[in-house]
């Protein structure tokens, strides 16, 4: 039995909009299985010029007012929900980058079927036999457009044969939690809605990332397949009547036509699931004593209004006993409180200032989706991400998980400093150097070759999941402090005295003209790969640097033999110093040029200098060689780390 009031309401909307032609009956609308491309556009696609017609305005109102769409189509009886096939036109710009597809929110909102095309490309990349009746996981960081996108994904998952979707309550689930849940449910993969540390809100960024069955980011072979499909896509399938309640924990079942089994959506408490995983990795009794015992330390954790807030509150405050006011900015917001959810000295200003006051012994910040972290000690003592993973490696048996599992290997991304290399050499543990992107660690972990890894971009993690994990890194550091009974600074200084120090900095030049950036990189590659470049010397101050090796980094995966080329330009000097240039694809517009400087120092009298002062000479050489400022028009970087 149809709902006449909803039909009447929608008819009035069309009359108000200037349409006087009577609408077809609801049943007639539902009867169509294949629709012309102008009939349904999802979501928020305004009718084009000249489309002031039944189909054009129907497209506009159905896409812009999804609640009316639901009321109009919804039957009060138990008849199966209909699956529709909608013609579409491909877009040429849906190539996933290192961390998925990232664009401005407006791109997803205003380009007709832009979201649907990419989601269909993901589903179509999975063999139909694997997809039918399968389980998939969906979660997002809560940024603007998150809920809208999830409803579309649910409708398309049902239409594409997925049998069971697991979704975080309110559509929110951290990236580490998604990885964990994929593995727990033995899902065929997961869709993550995040642009990580990029800004959110209506004028910000939105992103879609596909993780495979091991819980990790899709490898290049998969992302390239998705891209190929997106360039030739002609139609997508969707069940537009299906609406799911994201607020209530539990299972919801839906009958679809031509489906033998109901489609099930499971809304879960991802915080509790993730917390249970951490309980099996760390000694929670030891951590509770550190945070709430007689001689407890004072901590300050900044969730930056991202997805990690509820996890921090539940685990660190409620379970481990840290005071409620030790966690700040813990309510997820669509625009991250108007801030840039990047855990760095530049953007985590609230945390940095509070740590400088000396009130707190340990501080940490997390990014929008919870996979990145920044560690600070008392008075704002900064732990670089490269040093952080090295310290965890040197103290790895402070974590019970590794006492039981052992340590198989260490790995870092190529631009990350050599601090981890020093620990690997001293402990005789295999070290792997990979391209930037967590997906490169997954193969090594699945093959049993890798236990701990990190990237200079504030990412740290282990083989407990297949993503970097910000909260895991914080508990790892707290475990070290609890075991060694030292401060953050004492642990770091002792590490430098033992292994030497890698001075390190990164200059980011954001939203640079992409043509200028590409031309600069091409000409720089020609220069450094010329045989005559080897042996050249560069004088800076009182020091002379002689080139030992230079190349465009290429990685051969030791597990499957796949080769990844053009991963960054490297200039290596005889004293062990390095200059690295990369073009980054994690932004939503323009190009980001990243310049990395790494210089090892073993002289104990030289390990306490300011990195920016220590590395100034190498920075000068890098800028002169690349002519970066002249070519990009940038006199200074957007961010210095």
* Enzyme catalytic residues: 196
Residue 203: how many other CB atoms lie within 10 Å: 11
Helices (H), 395-469: 400-405, 419-427, 439-446
The answer for residues whose C-beta is within 8 angstroms of residue 616's C-beta and 6 or more apart is none
Sign for the CA dihedral angle at 393, 398, 400, 404 comes to: positive
Q: Which of 500, 485, 480 is nearest to 608 (CA)?
A: 500
Whether 332 and 270 have beta carbons less than 8 Å apart is answered as no
Q: Which of 321, 366, 379, 317 is nearest to 339 (CA)?
A: 366
User: For residue 103, what are the β-bridge partners?
Assistant: 206
Determine the Cα–Cα distance for residues 504 and 69; give it in Å rounded to an integer. Answer: 55
Two tokens at 178?
């998604």
Residue 315: how many other CB atoms lie within 10 Å: 24
β-strand pairing of 362-366 with 382-383: unpaired
Q: Which of 398, 401, 394, 354 is nearest to 378 (CA)?
A: 354
The answer for residues whose C-beta is within 8 angstroms of residue 326's C-beta and 6 or more apart is 298, 299, 300, 301, 316, 317, 360
- Round to the nearest angstrom and report the end-to-end CA distance of the chain: 62
Determine the Cα–Cα distance for residues 409 and 418; give it in Å rounded to an integer. Answer: 15
Determine the Cα–Cα distance for residues 287 and 634; give it in Å rounded to an integer. Answer: 46
Whether 173 and 272 have beta carbons less than 8 Å apart is answered as no
Q: Which of 427, 418, 368, 425 is nearest to 395 (CA)?
A: 427
Q: Which of 235, 179, 220, 213 is nearest to 96 (CA)?
A: 220
**207: helix, strand or coil:** strand
Whether 201 and 376 have beta carbons less than 8 Å apart is answered as no
Determine the Cα–Cα distance for residues 178 and 270; give it in Å rounded to an integer. Answer: 8
> Cα torsion at 30, 34, 39, 40 (round to 10°)?
80
- Catalogue the long-range contacts made by 525-532 (C-beta closer than 8 Å, 24 or more residues apart): 525/552, 525/569, 527/625, 528/569, 528/571, 528/625
Residue 383: how many other CB atoms lie within 10 Å: 22
DSSP collapsed to 3 states, 307-324: CCHHHHHHHHHHHCCCCH
């Amino acid at each position: 039995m149809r709902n006449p009031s909803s039909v009447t309401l929608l008819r009035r909307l069309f009359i108000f909009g200037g349409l006087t032609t009577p609408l077809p009956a609801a049943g007639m609308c539902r009867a169509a299985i294949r629709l012309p491309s102008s009939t349904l556009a999802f979501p928020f696609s305004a009718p084009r010029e000249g489309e002031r017609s039944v189909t054009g305005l129907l497209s506009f109102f159905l896409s812009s007012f999804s609640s009316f769409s639901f009321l109009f189509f919804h039957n009060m009886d138990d008849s199966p929900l209909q699956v529709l096939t909608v013609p579409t036109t491909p877009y040429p710009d849906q190539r996933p980058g290192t961390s998925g597809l990232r664009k401005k929110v407006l791109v997803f909102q205003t380009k007709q079927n832009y979201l649907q095309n990419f989601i269909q490309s993901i589903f179509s990349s999975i063999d139909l036999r694997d997809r039918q009746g399968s389980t998939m996981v969906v979660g997002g960081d809560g940024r603007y457009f998150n809920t809208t996108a999830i409803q579309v994904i649910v409708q398309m998952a049902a239409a594409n044969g997925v049998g069971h979707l697991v979704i975080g309550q309110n559509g929110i689930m951290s990236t580490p939690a998604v990885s964990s849940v994929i593995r727990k449910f033995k899902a065929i993969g997961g869709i993550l809605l995040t642009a990580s540390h990029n800004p959110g809100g209506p004028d910000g960024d939105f992103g879609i990332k596909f993780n495979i069955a091991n819980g990790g980011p899709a490898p290049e072979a998969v992302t390239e397949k998705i891209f190929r499909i997106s360039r030739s896509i002609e139609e997508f399938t969707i069940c537009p009547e299906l609406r799911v309640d994201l607020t209530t924990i539990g299972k919801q079942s839906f009958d679809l036509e031509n489906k033998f089994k109901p489609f099930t959506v499971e809304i879960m408490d991802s915080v509790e699931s993730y917390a249970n995983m951490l309980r099996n990795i760390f000694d929670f009794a030891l951590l509770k004593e550190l945070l709430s015992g007689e001689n407890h330390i004072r901590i300050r954790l900044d969730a930056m209004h991202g997805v990690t807030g509820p996890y921090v509150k539940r685990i660190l405050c409620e379970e481990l006993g840290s005071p409620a006011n030790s966690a700040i900015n813990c309510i997820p917001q669509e625009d991250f409180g108007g801030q840039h959810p990047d855990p760095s000295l530049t953007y985590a200003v609230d945390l940095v200032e509070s740590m400088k006051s000396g009130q707190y012994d340990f501080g940490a910040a997390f990014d929008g989706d919870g996979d990145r972290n920044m560690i600070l000690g008392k008075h704002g003592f900064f732990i670089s991400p490269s040093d952080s993973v090295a310290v965890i490696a040197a103290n790895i048996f402070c974590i019970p998980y590794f006492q039981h599992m052992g340590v198989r290997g260490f790995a870092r991304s190529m631009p990350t400093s050599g601090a981890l290399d020093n620990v690997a050499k001293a402990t005789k543990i295999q070290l792997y150097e990979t391209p930037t992107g967590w997906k490169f660690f997954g193969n090594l972990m699945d093959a049993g070759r890798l236990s701990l890894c990190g990237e200079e971009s504030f990412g740290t993690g282990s083989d407990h999941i297949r993503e970097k994990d910000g909260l895991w890194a914080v508990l790892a550091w707290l475990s070290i402090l609890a075991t060694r009974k030292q401060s953050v600074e004492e642990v770091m200084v002792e590490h430098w005295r033992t292994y030497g120090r890698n001075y390190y900095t990164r200059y980011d030049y954001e939203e640079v003209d992409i043509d200028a950036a590409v031309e600069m990189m091409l000409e720089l590659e020609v220069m450094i790969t010329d045989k005559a470049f080897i042996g050249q010397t560069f004088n800076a101050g009182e020091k002379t640097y002689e080139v030992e090796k230079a190349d465009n980094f290429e990685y051969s995966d030791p597990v499957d033999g796949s080769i990844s080329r053009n991963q960054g330009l490297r200039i290596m000097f005889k004293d062990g110093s390095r200059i690295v240039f990369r073009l980054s694809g994690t932004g939503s517009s323009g190009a980001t040029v990243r310049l990395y400087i790494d210089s090892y120092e073993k002289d104990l009298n030289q390990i306490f200098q300011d990195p920016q002062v220590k590395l100034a000479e190498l920075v000068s050489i890098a800028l002169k060689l690349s002519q970066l400022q002249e070519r990009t028009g940038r006199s200074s970087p957007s961010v210095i780390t």
